[in-house]
Amino acid sequence: MSDAEAAFEEGFTGKSMPAPSLEDADIEAARQKAGEKYPALAPHLAEAVVQKGDPNVYYKTGGHLEFYSPWESENPNPGKVTLEIYNHGLKGAALEDAIAGDMLHHLGSVNPETGEPVDAKWRAMRDEVIAARSPQSKAMDERAYANAVTSGDTRDLNTWMDYSRADAHVRGYITPDKENNWRDAYTPEQKAKLEEMKAHLATRGTVQ
């Protein structure tokens, strides 16, 4: 699930409308920096489409950007990972981390044509992070899922966790936003595994 959907889940009430500008050069520079910071993402970022999206989505929902898998029917660039940036006020390191954070969705996804994960090691570690959640964290996820269903999500809990929420747990540790709302959500076991995932991101990835 995208940041826009996640914000909607959590009861986002809207932001005042600034007048930011986002240039293609800003996006390209952030893409390059994200690949340098996280080498495992670099080959995937090189093939992805990162483009400006409708800023009104940000003003209405607070969602900074949207991730589309290559196989998603609503993808505006079918066959390619696509990121649409709604918050045109993102700049520098904030934009780099937003791009990297949403690209984590791709590493954990499964190619429906082959049944193979994009990055099998990454997906296995992500599953271990979810298995090590505290009871409080599980309850938080169940509340978030209930909100998603109320907002129209028709997926079952396991599918929602796999495609949406699991990545939020990982992103909240590896590429936290300035509020860092996930900072107290992790068990020691999760932190240890997430540190392994950070180390994995420092290794050069490949595109299958």
pLDDT in tens, 141-150: 999 999 999 9
Angle between helices 188-201 and 166-174 (to 10 degrees): 70
* pLDDT above 80: residue 206: no
Q: What is the pLDDT, as a whole number, of residue 20? A: 65
State the Cα–Cα distance between residues 105 and 168, nearest whole angstrom: 9
CA end-to-end span of the chain, whole Å?
A: 23
Confidence band, pLDDT 50/70/90 cuts, at residue 190: very high
Residue 109's alpha-carbon distances to 13, 20, 132, 137, in angstroms, are 30, 32, 20, 22
pLDDT tens sequence across 4-35: 344 434 444 455 555 568 899 999 999 999 99
Would you say 118 and 108 are in contact if contact means Cβ atoms under 8 Å apart? yes
State the Cα–Cα distance between residues 143 and 106, nearest whole angstrom: 25
* pLDDT above 70: residue 138: yes
Residue 29's alpha-carbon distances to 20, 40, 80, 81, 98, in angstroms, are 17, 18, 20, 18, 13
Would you say 106 and 81 are in contact if contact means Cβ atoms under 8 Å apart? yes
Can you tell me the mean pLDDT for 83-93?
93
* pLDDT above 90: residue 205: no
pLDDT tens sequence across 36-75: 999 999 999 999 999 999 999 888 888 899 999 999 999 9
pLDDT tens sequence across 153-185: 999 999 999 988 999 999 999 988 878 889 889
Look up the pTM and report it: 0.82
Structure tokens at 193: 């595994």
Q: What is the pLDDT, as a whole number, of residue 1? A: 45
